[in-house]
Structure 1
Amino acid sequence: MFFQQVADGGCQSYVIGCAESCAAAIIDPALGQIDRYVGIANREGLRVRYIIETHTHADHFSAARQLAERMGATVVMHRNSPAPHVAMRVDDGHLIAVGALRLKVMHTPGHTRDSMCLHVDDRVFTGDTLLIGGTGRTDLPTGDPAELHRSLFARLLLLDRETLVFPAHDYKGRTHSSIGTEIDGNPRLQVRDEAAFIEMMRGLNLSAPTHLTEALRTNMSGGKTVRQLLAEAALGVPFVSLEGLAGRLEGKRNDFVILDVRERDAYARGHIPGALHLARGQLELKVDETFPDPNLEILTVCELGKISTLAAATLRELGFGRAVALDGGMKSWREGGFPMETGEDPALLI
């Protein structure tokens, strides 16, 4: 069996393959590691057949859809998963054939309705059902502490004590544990009574994961993250440096326009001298009447350089092929001590 663990912060994902057939699967892939998974597969001569998610993640962005498209693989999740891009939905007891390997599905709801573990040979991939020294939380959408109790004590913990445990997360640098180690030392597993376990889980008072709603949206729908949109926009947009723009202003060049795409109150509090104002939300509706010449160089500006990148990309899609964005945004412009104007000039408002 080929096996490699890939860490992305506290997220743990796995590449597992059959040495005989070179077929492989990737379990719980993280969006930031796509090139790494592809590199591992190429280096080892593996053909990735399946991208398997143990559950709908709420604390990181899944790479399942992107990897499936890039590698010609099938996305696999439990049948309760809401994600529309799942091509093969499985249920408790099903086997996923990866060459000669057989990954047995164990439906283990509790952390989420669609949580499942994957048992193969001497190891089990536990997702967020069982963590090293802990368990998955049950206070997020579709979580249920009573179901988690049953999944743990009536299913997962009945595996052989020597079975290796590979979870979807660990924030302390640990790579794996075992069923026996967790039974003996995991604090949450010492509370075996169901009512007491439920009370303990409901009283954890955990903070919400970063990017909770965005992660759920993208992982459930197969949509794009804001980071992806920005990265895609940046691929097709040139940038102008702060110093470069300052030099243009000092030279009183009039062969371009500066377009501030922030909200009107932010523009009034301080903007680059001579900058026109058109809020990003009005861009598509007003750009044609404002800039009839598609050959005009339009330099977009926002607070941090993100919205202006999207604006410049939109302008290019609309036919303004010379649209560019300021690298750094108004925050960097202010901190650099570059010239500013305040207030509103009606002639500069679009």
Structure 2
Amino acid sequence: MIFRQLLEPVSSTYTYVLGCPETGEAILVDPVVNSMDRDLQVLQGLGLRLAYTLDTHIHADHITAALELKKRTGSRIAAPAFDRLPCADLGIEEGRPLRVGSMTIEGLHTPGHTDGHFSYVSAARVFTGDALLIDGCGRTDFQNGDSAALYRSVTQKLFALDDETLVYPAHDYTGRHVSSIAQEKARNPRLGAGKSLAEFQQIMANLDLPYPKFIDYAVPGNRGCGVCPDGLPDELQKYCAPMAESPQG
């Protein structure tokens, strides 16, 4: 499998390129609209044709590029079936893998950050979205988040994967790129080292995080598979501006 990890710096979002060397078909996991031109340049440089975009969940911190990429390339939009997005071409369900060329992507329903959140397993890698971050996890205080559900998703599903499975999250804010299931089980300060559900719930209840500054625009935009809203305040324009020169992670 052809693989690349790309960084969108405004929201510190990782987008992943998965490519089939036999057919030249590609999947973009969690593409961001303001890095769309960069992603297309990467695909062209690798000789790949975009077949699907695949989001892990309805994001609150950026606008997905799924709809614009479909308009530009004819790609299909895949998203968790749980969210019932009318704009999606394919609803991902656990136990029904997505196959593109020689690639197989297994969906795992991993709710807790959002109720419809999915993680994706392919070729000894797991794309964990916001369910499991490197030494952390996504917040659980909006979009029907639930700390008990997230605890079960991570400890019963993600931590059940092979220890050698590489963990590729949707974000990292300190320049890290990859972890492993063994590493997160051993040292994740929120969920690792045998943390109990009660301990995890206490940690999450005491985070005291600010209200997400883009959520009121991102969530409705992403329910439309990536519609940049009108009337964005000046300080939020960067979330929908083209960023063809975004540095790669």
TM-score, length-normalised on structure 2? Answer: 0.88
Which residue of 135, 143, 146 maps to 2:137?
A: 135
SS at match of 1:139: coil
8 Å contact from structure 2 (residues 63, 226) kept in 1: no
Describe how 1:60-99 pairs up with structure 2 within 5 A.
60-99=62-101
SS at match of 1:126: strand
Distance 1:49 1:104 in 2: 17
Offset at 1:90?
1.5
SS at match of 1:209: coil
Between the two proteins, the alignment pairs up a number of residues equal to 230
8 Å contact from structure 1 (residues 128, 169) kept in 2: yes
Distance 1:114 1:166 in 2: 19
8 Å contact from structure 1 (residues 82, 221) kept in 2: no
Which structure's residues are more often helix, by fraction? 1
Correspondence for 1:219:
222
Offset at 1:20?
1.1
Find out whether 1:206 has 2:203 as its counterpart.
no
User: Could you list the per-position Cα deviations for residues 298-320 of structure 1 after superposition, in whole angstroms to 9, with x for gaps in the alignment?
Assistant: xxxxxx8xxxxxxxxxxxxxxxx
Find out whether 1:196 has 2:199 as its counterpart.
yes
SS at match of 2:82: coil
Offset at 1:101?
0.9
SS at match of 1:134: coil
Distance 1:135 1:16 in 2: 24
Distance 1:33 1:78 in 2: 22
Q: 1:197 is aligned with what amino acid?
A: F
User: Could you list the per-position Cα deviations for residues 252-282 of structure 1 after superposition, in whole angstroms to 9, with x for gaps in the alignment?
Assistant: xxxxxxxxxxxxxxxxxxxxxxxxxxxxxxx
SS at match of 1:188: coil
SS at match of 1:80: helix
Alignment identity in percent?
39
Task: Answer with 101-110 or 35-44: which moved more.
Answer: 35-44
Offset at 1:130?
0.4
Offset at 1:203?
2.0
Task: Answer with 36-45 or 17-26: which moved more.
Answer: 36-45
Find out whether 1:17 has 2:30 as its counterpart.
no
SS at match of 2:26: strand
Unmatched runs of 5 consecutive residues or more in structure 1: 231-303, 305-350
Distance 1:187 1:15 in 2: 29
Distance 1:15 1:216 in 2: 24
SS at match of 1:67: helix
Correspondence for 2:243:
none
Offset at 1:221?
2.7
Distance 2:197 2:42 in 1: 43
Which residue of 130, 151, 170 maps to 1:149?
A: 151
SS at match of 2:185: helix
SS at match of 1:219: helix
Distance 1:224 1:194 in 2: 37
8 Å contact from structure 2 (residues 68, 226) kept in 1: no
Q: 2:208 is aligned with what amino acid?
A: N
Correspondence for 2:110:
108
Find out whether 1:176 has 2:178 as its counterpart.
yes
Q: Determine which structure has greater relative contact order: mean sequence separation of CA pairs < 8 Å that are 6+ residues apart, divided by chain length.
A: 2
Task: Answer with 216-225 or 135-144: which moved more.
Answer: 216-225
